[in-house]
Structure 1
Amino acid sequence: MPLFEIETNSHIIITWAENEDAARDVVHDAYPHDEVVRLTKRPRDTWVISKGALGLTNTTLDPCMVARECLNRSAGDKVNAIRLYRMETGSDLDQARKMIESNMVMGW
């Protein structure tokens, strides 16, 4: 039985199915409100990766762009940029610090 990788608007699912129609049925049974955007055959075991957990569902909010904008508004002041980033994204202190510092290294 072939293995299929199915990307929906919210998930990436890798599952065994007899054919493409059966793979689409797997998605419809598990996630009836998801829309299939890509379906390909692929070898290996079954996995499901939530796009929401990876932060991929909100395409209008690019964390690096937000971090760079916060650095720009703070004139490169790291502490102020972290504060701005937290206000913009609702991130905790550690997440905001990592994001600002990683973007400082990349030369915001």
Structure 2
Amino acid sequence: MPLFEIETDSHIIITWAENDDAARELVADAFPTDTVARLTKRPRDTWVISKGALGLTNRTFDPCHIARDCLSRSAGDKVNAIRLYRMETGSDLEQARKVIESNMVMGW
């Protein structure tokens, strides 16, 4: 069974289907309000997502390492660590809070 990449106005769906019509039917069942913008039969039976295309190849930016450093510099003061993390990374308050709290739980 071929692997299809189906792009709608709201989703990118990767699925197996017997043919183009079956792939379109699958989208109509799962997302009835979506319109199919592109339907591509993949040449192989696997799907690869390029980390480079997603911007995940920058090895110098390790959010956990930065968060642990901020926690260390703030002597474990969460509010100060969040402020430091925001200054280091340019993250918004919510993202900085999540990263700092996640690293606090892991025992920075």
TM-score, L = length of structure 1 = 0.54
The equivalent residue for 1:89 is 89
Q: Which residue of 2 aligns with 1:59?
A: 59
Alpha-carbon separation, structure 1, partners of 2:107 and 2:53: 28
Bigger radius of gyration, 1 or 2? 2
Is there any run of 5+ residues in structure 2 with no aligned partner, and where?
A: 4-40
Letter in structure 2 aligned against 1:43: D
Higher strand share: 1
Q: Which residue of 1 aligns with 2:42?
A: 16
- Measured on the aligned residues, the alpha-carbon RMSD in Å equals 2.9
Distance, in Å, in 2 between the alignment partners of 1:50 and 1:61 is 14
Where structure 1 has 5 or more consecutive residues not aligned to the other structure, the ranges are 4-14, 18-41
Look up the match of 2:45.
43
Higher RCO structure, 1 or 2 (CA under 8 Å, sep 6+): 1
Aligned-residue sequence identity (percent) comes to 70
Partners of 2:53 and 2:80 in 1: CA distance: 28
Residue in structure 1 matched with residue 68 of structure 2 by the alignment: 68
**Match of residue 33 from structure 2:** none
CA distance in structure 2 between the partners assigned to 1:16 and 1:52 by the alignment = 18
Segments of 4+ moved more than 6 angstroms: none
Kept after mapping to 1: 8 A contact 2:82/2:93? yes
Q: Size of the alignment, in residue pairs?
A: 71
